[in-house]
């Protein structure tokens, strides 16, 4: 038996591991180590994700609870703003600020910001952060202005028994409120950019509600900023001002509300406004050429009467243009420069009488809120045969009403309410010769800048009497928005105008200057009304409906708007309905119209 002697073991031969086995063992060990590493990495990542998720859930809970609490606070603040209870808002603001600070801290967390990149979830987290940050900035800027806003919006408290307004609080409040309003608009714009359609329903609802509340807060601050900016200089804080007050006569309609019937000159200084002169339209007779150059659009739609007759200067639906023409005529014929023009119609005067109580004119006539329209627009024409005397009577009553307001007569709180209501219905319009002040006024409805202001999406329906008489006292008008279609590619609505003419049975026996001269063979007692329909800027007018058919008339353009003008002829007791289809712009339809004895100057409808 032979024995083989082995030499020293070679590499890898210890423990009975031969080279081939050694290679297999080495690969298995690496796989095992890699598997263990992967498992631990996955477990680690899972633990991190669970931790991050838990932290994010905790932060989300913090933000959610804080925002819901802030929402309740903002809702309460909105009610107080609607009721002018700004004093209560000062007490509510700290709690709202504390809740928003909590929400902001949660949404600025690095984990939160990282999670905003996750599909679906990220849009919701980003919305919460934007809302929290925007509202927090707003409350931080608005808090110092709240007490000032209270002083501005409750201006009746600054009005003395003599009617003078204490302007010092307004001057002091102005900068604070302007800064707060700017911050509110920044927040409003940021929240408006949120696509609520990408949010979960639990978040979309509160965001929409907060956006609506933010609109109210912004509107209140804007109103306060406008009052604080405009009122002091316009009431003579920086020096005396002279204004021309124009009384509009609604018994003969014009786009602004009625034909120019009388003038009063007002002097404003250090918060006090006094009446210093009165004039009739007889003092400004018709002229051969327009007082200012008229555009081709104006000549086509309004004719040169717009600039030749001061009574017709309000045929255009743009009050700044009317005021420029009136001011130019006044300066040429009377020799007096005015710093602004204010126009008011008889319904606005009735609202003021509800606050002042009865007034007595120089001629001994006493009027109150219940009878002023009848006295001015009916009785005067029955009892006074001379048109010049009628105009003088109209001016005397208007002066008596203004005198009562200026002297502090009656309920000051009610007076502010009356002025607000008249302004919201287009029954009071204001123009300033100061370009900076006028720019602010033109952005509001009280500025009446339908063509020259920033009201591009509004449609217009305006009425101008074509009879040449005073029969519109017997005309009932109503503008309404119907069939609001909010869905689809091109949402639309129908704008409807109803005209009802119901004069007395003896209308043909009324004075000639009441029934009119019978232009174009118009039968005595019938009523002619020129109806002008204006599209929104850049839009085309569809067919104009009349009752069950279609009607065509004069067409033209004005400041980028399509215009159609038709003439309504109504015999006593007749009714007509006009209609047109208009686009719904950003979920809203807004219509400017002629304020009449039966209808306000603005109507709107908003999609749900």
36: confidence class by pLDDT, cuts 50, 70, 90? low
How confident is the model over 149-154, as a mean pLDDT? 59
For residues 109 and 432, the model is more confident at 432
Region 30-57 average pLDDT: 51
Count CB atoms within 10 A of the CB of residue 51.
11
Residues 6+ apart with CB under 8 A from 32: none
Q: Which residues contact 293 (CB under 8 A, 6 or more apart)?
A: none
Mean pLDDT on 427-438: 94
CB of 427 within 8 A of CB of 601?
yes
Say if residues 446 and 429 touch (Cβ distance below 8 Å).
Answer: yes
Write down the pLDDT at residue 24: 52
Handedness of CA 344, 349, 355, 359 (dihedral sign): positive
pLDDT at 118 over 50: yes
The whole-angstrom separation of Cα 577 and Cα 568 is 10
pLDDT digit string, tens, across residues 247-281: 999 999 999 999 999 999 999 998 888 889 999 89
Average pLDDT, the chain: 82
Rg (the chain; Cα; Å):
36
Domain ranges of the chain: 40-234, 241-439, 456-606
Angle at the Cα of 275 from the Cα atoms of 269 and 276, rounded to 5 degrees: 95
Mean pLDDT confidence for 217-226: 74
Please report where in the chains the tokens 């002023």 appear, as a residue. 372
Tell me which DSSP letter residue 240 carries: -
Q: Is the pLDDT of residue 511 over 70?
A: yes
Band of the pLDDT at 215, cuts 50, 70, 90?
confident
Q: What pLDDT score was predicted for residue 13?
A: 41
Q: For residue 464, what are its two tokens?
A: 């101008």
Q: What does the pLDDT average to over 361-382? A: 91
> What are the Cα distances from residue 172, in Å, to 128, 191, 230, 262, 270?
36, 30, 13, 37, 15
Model confidence over 298-323: pLDDT tens digits? 999 999 999 999 999 999 999 999 99
Least confident span in 223-227, 366-370, 526-530, 568-572: 223-227
| Confidence class for position 580, pLDDT limits 50, 70, 90 | very high
Q: By percentage, how much of the chain surpasses pLDDT 70?
A: 77
Q: By three-state DSSP, how is residue 452 classified?
A: coil
Q: What is the mean pLDDT of residues 13-39?
A: 51
Give how far the C-alpha of residue 301 lies from the chain's centroid of Cα atoms, to the nearest Å: 27
pTM of the model: 0.77
Residue 289 and residue 308 in contact, taking contact as beta carbons nearer than 8 Å: yes
pLDDT for res 48:
43
Least confident range of 210-224, 410-424, 521-535, 583-597: 210-224
Report pLDDT for 10: 43
Spatial separation of the C-alpha atoms in residues 568 and 503, rounded to whole Å? 16
Mean pLDDT of 460-470: 96
% pLDDT > 90, the chain? 46
- Class of the CATH-defined domain 456-606: mainly beta
Q: Select, from the ranges 127-131, 151-155, 192-196, 524-528, the one with the highest average predicted confidence (pLDDT).
A: 524-528
Q: Which of 330-344, 412-426, 522-536 has the lowest mean pLDDT?
A: 412-426
CB 448 within 8 A of CB 429: yes
pLDDT surpassing 60 at residue 53: no
Give residue 212's pLDDT.
Answer: 72
| pLDDT on residue 419 | 83
Say yes or no to pLDDT of 566 above 50.
Answer: yes
Q: Check residue 14 and give its pLDDT.
A: 33
* Position 17 pLDDT exceeds 50: no
- Per-position b or e across 362-384, b if 16+ CB within 10 A of its CB: eeebebebeebbebbbbebbeeb
At the topology level, CATH places domain 241-439 in: Aminopeptidase (3.40.630)
Residue 22 has pLDDT above 70, yes or no: no
Q: What is the pLDDT of residue 31?
A: 56
46-50, 185-189, 236-240, 406-410: which is most confident? 236-240
The span from the CA of 51 to the CA of 102, in Å, is 21
Helix (H), strand (E) at residue 329: helix 319-333
Cα separation, 81 vs 219, whole angstroms: 10
The predicted pLDDT at position 559 comes to 96
496 vs 128: which has the higher pLDDT: 496
Provide the pLDDT for residue 40: 44
């Amino acid at each position: 038996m032979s024995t083989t002697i082995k030499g020293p073991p070679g590499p890898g031969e210890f423990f009975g591991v031969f080279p081939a086995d050694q290679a297999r063992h080495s690969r298995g060990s690496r796989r095992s180590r890699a598997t263990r590493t992967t498992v631990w990495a996955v477990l680690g990542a899972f633990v991190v994700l669970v931790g991050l998720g838990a932290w994010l859930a905790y932060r989300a809970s913090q933000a959610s609870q804080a925002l819901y609490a802030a929402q309740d606070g903002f809702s309460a603040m909105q009610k107080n703003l609607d009721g002018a209870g700004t004093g209560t808002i000062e007490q509510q603001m700290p709690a709202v600020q504390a809740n928003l600070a909590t929400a902001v801290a949660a949404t600025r967390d690095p984990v939160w910001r990282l999670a905003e990149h996750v599909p679906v979830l990220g849009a919701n987290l980003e919305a919460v952060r934007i809302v929290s940050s925007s509202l927090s900035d707003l409350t931080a800027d608005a808090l110092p202005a709240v007490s000032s806003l209270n002083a501005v919006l409750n201006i009746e408290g600054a009005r003395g028994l003599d009617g003078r307004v204490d302007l010092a609080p307004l001057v002091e409040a102005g900068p604070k409120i302007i800064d707060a309003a700017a911050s509110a608009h920044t927040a409003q714009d940021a929240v408006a950019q949120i696509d609520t359609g990408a949010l979960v329903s639990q978040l979309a609802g509160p965001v929409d509600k907060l956006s609506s509340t933010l609109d109210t807060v912004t509107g209140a601050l804007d109103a306060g900023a406008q009052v604080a900016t405009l009122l002091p200089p316009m009431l003579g804080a920086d020096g005396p001002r002279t204004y021309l007050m124009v009384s509009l006569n609604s018994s003969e309609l014009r786009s602004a509300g009625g034909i120019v019937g009388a003038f009063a000159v007002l002097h404003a200084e250090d918060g006090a406004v006094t009446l210093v002169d009165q004039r009739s339209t007889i003092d400004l007779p018709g002229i051969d050429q327009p007082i200012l150059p008229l555009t081709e659009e104006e000549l086509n739609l309004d004719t040169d009467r717009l600039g030749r007759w001061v009574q017709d200067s309000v045929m255009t639906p743009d009050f700044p243009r009317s005021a420029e023409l009136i001011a130019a005529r006044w300066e040429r014929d009377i020799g007096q420069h005015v710093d602004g023009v204010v126009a008011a119609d008889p319904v606005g005067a009735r609202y003021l009488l509800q606050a002042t109580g009865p007034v007595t004119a120089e001629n001994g006539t006493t009027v109150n809120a219940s009878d002023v329209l009848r006295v001015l627009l009916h009785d005067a024409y029955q009892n006074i045969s001379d048109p010049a005397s009628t105009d003088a009577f109209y001016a005397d009553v208007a002066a008596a009403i203004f005198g009562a307001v200026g002297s502090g007569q009656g309920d000051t709180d009610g007076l502010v309410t009356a002025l607000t209501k008249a302004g919201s219905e287009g029954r009071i319009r204001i123009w300033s010769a100061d370009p900076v002040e006028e720019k602010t006024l033109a952005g509001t409805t009280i500025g009446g800048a339908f063509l020259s202001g920033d009201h591009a999406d509004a449609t217009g329906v305006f009425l101008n009497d074509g009879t040449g008489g005073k029969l519109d006292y017997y005309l009932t008008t109503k503008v309404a928005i119907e069939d609001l279609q909010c869905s689809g590619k091109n949402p639309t609505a129908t704008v409807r105008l109803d005209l009802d003419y119901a004069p007395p049975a003896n209308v043909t026996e009324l004075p000639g200057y009441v029934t009119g001269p019978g232009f174009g063979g118009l039968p005595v007692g019938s009523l002619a009304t020129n109806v002008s329909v204006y599209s929104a800027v850049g839009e085309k007018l569809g067919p104009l409906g009349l009752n069950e058919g279609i009607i065509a008339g004069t067409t033209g353009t004005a400041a980028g708007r399509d215009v159609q003008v038709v003439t309504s002829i109504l015999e006593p007791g007749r009714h007509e309905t006009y209609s047109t289809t208009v686009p719904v712009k950003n979920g809203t339809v807004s219509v400017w119209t002629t304020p009449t004895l039966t209808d306000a100057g603005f109507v709107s409808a908003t999609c749900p």
